[in-house]
Amino acid sequence: MAARGVTVVLMVGLPGSGKTTRARQLEAEGALRFSLDEWMLPLFAGENGTRQRDTLEGRLIWAGLRAAELGVDVVLDFGFWSRAERDALRHLFAAVGAECVVEFLDVDPTTQWERVSRRQVEAPGDTFAMTRGELDHWRTLFEVPTAEELATTTNGPPAGFLTWSAWAADRWPSLPDQGR
């Protein structure tokens, strides 16, 4: 069954950019929302390890693909720091008939630190501890979506991968290769 008229929104941005606030607005409009940190904190007792994140992201992406196939709008509130991640997901969701939209929320470093600091004080159990140094470092790793990226369809998969599905299964080990 193809997902006709289904929209999947990828919330793209750094911590403190407003992704979850916006994702909750989209949820109130009827989308199924998957916010990674809301799953990470209770499942992994506050550990923020890369292996746990990648595994959980893969399963939530898989659930999002299934929901889209069933005709449910989806919001993935993960951050998606690399273009390759965004391109892979745009391709995977298009393959099930869903329109995949990148919604980028930018934030300046001062506002970001104020928001993250406030959240750590007001709701420490709902967030991971972050230092300003970590935020500054993460900013150097984040690939800001360009106008060209947002306006075009996906590029081909990275070198060494025949399909985006194979790349995604490698990136998120718990996400099955949809091309099999």
Residue 106 falls inside a structural domain: yes
Residue 178 falls inside a structural domain: no
The separation between CA 137 and the C-alpha centre of its own chain, rounded to angstroms, equals 19
CA distance 53 to 38: 12
Mean pLDDT of 57-77: 96
Q: Give me 164's structure tokens.
A: 């985006």
Asked if pLDDT for residue 151 goes beyond 50, the answer is yes
Residue 72 falls inside a structural domain: yes
Asked if pLDDT for residue 108 goes beyond 50, the answer is yes
Q: How confident is the model at residue 165 (pLDDT cuts 50, 70, 90)?
A: very high
pTM of the full structure? 0.89
Residues spanned by the domain of 78? 7-171
Provide the CATH number for the domain around residue 28. Answer: 3.40.50.300
Q: Give me 44's structure tokens.
A: 């992994």
Residue 164 falls inside a structural domain: yes
Q: Domain count of the chain?
A: 1
Residue 13 falls inside a structural domain: yes
Q: How confident is the model at residue 4 (pLDDT cuts 50, 70, 90)?
A: low
* 38 and 19 Cβ atoms separated by less than 8 Å: no
Tell me what the pLDDT averaged over the chain comes to. 88
Residue 141 falls inside a structural domain: yes
